[in-house]
Amino acid sequence: MTHTILAFAGPEPVEVIPAWIWLLLIAAGVVASLTDLRSTRIPNWLTLPLLAGGLLYASAHGLPAVGQALAGMVAAGLFLVIAYILFGGGAGDAKLMLAFGSWLGFDASMILMLGVAITGFVQSITIITYRHGLRDVPIAVFHSFSMVHFAAKHAVRGKFIGPVEDEGIVPNGPNTVSRPRPQGWIPFAPAILAGTILSWWYWEHYGALK
């Protein structure tokens, strides 16, 4: 993206992302996790300035860097944007991943997307097992596939589930709200945080996907 290029062992150059960027994203992930667990929300005051900051940081390094930032947004956030359009809810998760991608560029965002997918899957299975036991894991997996099929079939017809209505929102401080948690709700921000940490470790040890 916009970072120093070094040559490690071998002929291929390796992109180096400064540690402060990873630490910034991890700090944002901690805040997002706290707000998600507290109020089922990841607020705009966190995601939008972070996204704007990533794009501004890229723009200071020229058009190629801006292109990398946009490509990173697509790589990191496209899956969650599609999930939001098809299933509703999770807009904060999608915006957080878009913001992370704007800082990391395409290659690191691909790793981030895979890391978050892994940690999200492990988190979901762990929570389902804790709540209901191992016997409910196959049921949850089958239900998820059924929901994907249902949403995709309706999307082909131009019908979308859309965002979840914020029924019963109660003010809870100047910048936060709390709302009833949907049945079976699993917060995704902690998975994004864990996936970011995992991605940093992978990037530092192995670099971009081959």
Mean pLDDT, rounded, of the chain: 77
Q: Return the amino acid letter for 169.
A: I
* Residue 141 binned pLDDT confidence (cut-offs 50, 70, 90): low
Provide the pLDDT for residue 138. Answer: 57
Q: What is the mean pLDDT of residues 182-196?
A: 83
Is 70 exceeded by the pLDDT of residue 208? yes
Output the pTM of the full model: 0.77
Domain boundaries, the chain: 17-206
Q: Which of 90-104, 136-150, 163-177 has the highest mean pLDDT?
A: 90-104
**What's residue 130's pLDDT?**
67
Q: Kindly tell me if the per-residue pLDDT of 98 is higher than 80.
A: yes
Distance CA 15, CA 65 (A): 13
Question: Which of 6-20, 148-162, 173-187 is the most confident on average?
Answer: 6-20
Element (H, E) at 7: strand 5-7
Confidence class for position 186, pLDDT limits 50, 70, 90: confident
If you average pLDDT over residues 12-41, what whole number do you get?
Answer: 89
pLDDT at 119: 95
Residue 142 is given by DSSP the state H
Q: List C-alpha distances in Å: 30 to 23, 35, 37, 126, 137.
A: 10, 9, 11, 20, 28
The residues facing 5 across adjacent strands are: 15
Predicted confidence at residue 99, as pLDDT, reads: 98
Angle at 137 between CA 131 and CA 143, to 5 degrees: 105
